[in-house]
Amino acid sequence: MEDLIIRGEKPEDHGAIRSLIVETFRAAYGTGDLEADLVERLRDQSAFGINISLVALQNDLLVGHVFFSGVHIAEHPDIAACALAPLCVSQPLQRLGIGSILTQRGLSACQDAGYKAAVVQGSPAYYGRFGFSPIGQFHLRTVFLSEYDMALALDDGALDAVSGLVDYPAPWDALRDE
């Protein structure tokens, strides 16, 4: 897509990121504050691993955002894993590939940062295209017990001998109660 810039978030993006998350998640699911609060709480702590936050800009306007943060696989503290959430693209610009670019760039930044695996809760039809598979295929499980739980090995074979509970840090508790 022409004129699209993808870069890491800067502190001055925080307000626009919040507005975009609220607007897109409210339109899609009637939520928004929940996901925006999650990002803000995760920004304040990175006990489970570093955060990766990318924005998409078009004509200086923030039109997309993706956030990755650390999670633990309970029985395998040696495997650095991250969760993708949230991902959003400004409504008028959806279905033009921006979400895919943000996801792909984000996954590659996670790989560069040393993450060996990623998890996401989302549509298998959407995240399948980036290589995510249902979490049960990796003998993993989450407290969300959702059919939308998916996982991806960022290093080939990184999840082959891995099983157990994916442990999310406290900021995720609000989503768990939903």
Ligand X SMILES: CC(C)(COP(=O)(O)OP(=O)(O)OC[C@H]1O[C@@H](n2cnc3c(N)ncnc32)[C@H](O)[C@@H]1OP(=O)(O)O)[C@@H](O)C(=O)NCCC(=O)NCCS
- Which spans of this chain sit near ligand X (rule: CB under 6 A)? 24-25, 28, 86-89, 94-100, 122-123, 125-126
* Whole-number Å distance between alpha carbons of 159 and 126: 21
Pairing mode of beta strands 140-142, 81-89: unpaired
* Whole-number Å distance between alpha carbons of 42 and 36: 10
Question: Would you say 51 or 90 has its CB closer to ligand X?
Answer: 90
Question: Would you say 49 or 122 has its CB closer to ligand X?
Answer: 122
Question: Would you say 28 or 61 has its CB closer to ligand X?
Answer: 28
Q: How far is the CB of 146 from ligand X (least distance, A)?
A: 11
Q: How far is the CB of 149 from ligand X (least distance, A)?
A: 11
The separation between the first and the last C-alpha atoms of the chain, rounded to the nearest angstrom, is 36
Question: Would you say 25 or 115 has its CB closer to ligand X?
Answer: 25
Q: How far is the CB of 136 from ligand X (least distance, A)?
A: 18
Q: How far is the CB of 36 from ligand X (least distance, A)?
A: 12
Residue of closest CB approach to ligand X:
99
Q: How far is the CB of 78 from ligand X (least distance, A)?
A: 28
* Whole-number Å distance between alpha carbons of 56 and 29: 22
User: At a CB cut-off of 8 Å and minimum separation 6, what does 94 contact?
Assistant: none
Q: Is residue 150 a contact partner of residue 137, using CB atoms and an 8 Å limit?
A: no
Question: Would you say 109 or 120 has its CB closer to ligand X?
Answer: 120
Q: Is residue 169 a contact partner of residue 70, using CB atoms and an 8 Å limit?
A: yes
DSSP code for 175: H
